[in-house]
Structure 1
C-alpha cells in the first residue's frame, strides 16, 4: 500500500475534513434515529402536527394527530392537538366533544405526580373556556356560554395556574403582545362583568380577545 500521498499536506487536509464530515453525519443520524426509535408511539407524529398547526396548516396537522391516535389511542398530545385544530377551524361541536373527552380521560387516568399531564389537564379546561367565550361572542351566543367559559377558566386555575399563564418572553417576541391576556386576568374581568346587569355587560372586546392564546403543554 502506497502511503506516500498522505505526506502531502493538501491530501491530508482533505482526508481530515472528510473524516470530520462523516463523523458529524453519523452522529446526527444516530441522534435523530435514536430519538425517533425511543419516543413513545405517536409522539413523533404529534410533534409533526404541532409544527404544522403552528404554521396554520390545519388539515395537514389534523392528519398527523389522527395518525398518532392510530398508533397510540388516547394520546393526550394528539387529542389536545385535534381539539385545537377544530377550535381554530371554528368546528365548535367537534372541538367541544374533543376537549370534553380529553378532560374526562385525564380525570380518570391522571397520576398525581404526572406534571406534564396536569399541565395538559389544566390546558384542556383553559382552551375549552376560550371556545365557550368565542361562542358567546358569536351571533346567537348567550350568557350561558360566558358562564361556562368562566367556570372552565376557574377550574384551569385550580388545577395548575403555572401551566396556563400567558406566553413567556420568547412567545411575547413572536406574537408581539407585550402584556398578553392570561386566564387569570380574563377570569377576573369576566367575573366583574357577570356581576353587572346583563344590558351593562361588556364581555366581548375584540382587541383583548385577539390576545388570547391556545395552551398546549409539551
Structure 2
C-alpha cells in the first residue's frame, strides 16, 4: 500500500478518535440541561455572575433535581453576596443528596463568611468525612491554568485553624483574616 494512503488513513483515524471524544465530553449532553450548566460554569469562572445565575435558573426551571446546578447556583449567589439565597440553594443540593461533599464544603465557606464559624467547622468536617480528597485542594494544573503559583488554603486547613481558634477564649481568637480568607476556593467536582 502507498505510504501516503497509510498516512492519510492514520491521520483520519486519529482525527476521528479525537473528534469523537471532543463530541462526547463537550457537546453531547449526558444529563438534560448539561450544556447550559457548562456554559453557566464558564460564566461563573469568568466572574460573570449575572449571566451564570440566569443560566442556572433556566436549567433548574426545567430540571429541578439537578444537584450540580443547585450547587453552582449557590456558589454564584455566594459570590454575589446574596447569602440567604445561597444557603437555600446549598440546602437544596444537600436535600437532593445528603452525601454531596462539595455542597457541604461550600456551605461551610458560606457559614465562614457570615461569621457562623461553628457551623462552618461542622460542614467542613462533614465534607472531609464524605470525601477525604477534598483535603488536597486544587491540583497543580488547575492552579497553573489560573496563574495561582501558591497552593491556596484548603477546607482541611481552614477546619484545623477554626478548631484551634474556637478552643481559645473569645478575646484571643483571630478567626477572620480577609486577605487569607479571600484566597479560599470553591469546590464543585
Indicate the residue corresponding to 1:42 in structure 2: 33
Judge conservation of contact 1:164–1:215 (CA < 8 Å) in 2.
no
Distance 1:61-1:164 versus aligned 2 partners, 3 A rule: farther
TM-score by length of 2: 0.83
Indicate the residue corresponding to 2:110 in structure 1: 131
Judge conservation of contact 2:121–2:163 (CA < 8 Å) in 1.
yes
Judge conservation of contact 1:122–1:164 (CA < 8 Å) in 2.
no
Gaps of 5+ in 2: 1-10
- Indicate the larger mover: 185-194 or 171-180: 171-180
Q: Find the aligned partners of 2:30 and 2:159 in 1 and give their Cα distance.
A: 37
Rg larger in structure? 1
Indicate the residue corresponding to 1:185 in structure 2: 157
Distance 1:190-1:175 versus aligned 2 partners, 3 A rule: farther
Indicate the residue corresponding to 1:114 in structure 2: none
Q: Find the aligned partners of 1:200 and 1:129 in 2 and give their Cα distance.
A: 23
Residue correspondences, number: 175
Q: Find the aligned partners of 2:56 and 2:43 in 1 and give their Cα distance.
A: 10
Q: Does 1:88 align with 2:67?
A: no
Aligned-pair Cα RMSD in Å: 2.5
Deviation for aligned residue 1:155: 0.6
Residue-by-residue CA offset, 1:13-37 (whole Å, 9 max, x unaligned): xxxxxxx9xxx7xx96996499645
Gaps of 5+ in 1: 1-19, 108-117, 137-144
Q: Does 1:201 align with 2:180?
A: no
TM-score by length of 1: 0.72
Distance 1:125-1:52 versus aligned 2 partners, 3 A rule: same
Q: Find the aligned partners of 2:137 and 2:33 in 1 and give their Cα distance.
A: 28
Judge conservation of contact 1:83–1:98 (CA < 8 Å) in 2.
yes
Q: Find the aligned partners of 2:160 and 2:24 in 1 and give their Cα distance.
A: 47
Indicate the residue corresponding to 1:152 in structure 2: 123
Deviation for aligned residue 1:207: 2.4
Deviation for aligned residue 1:163: 3.7
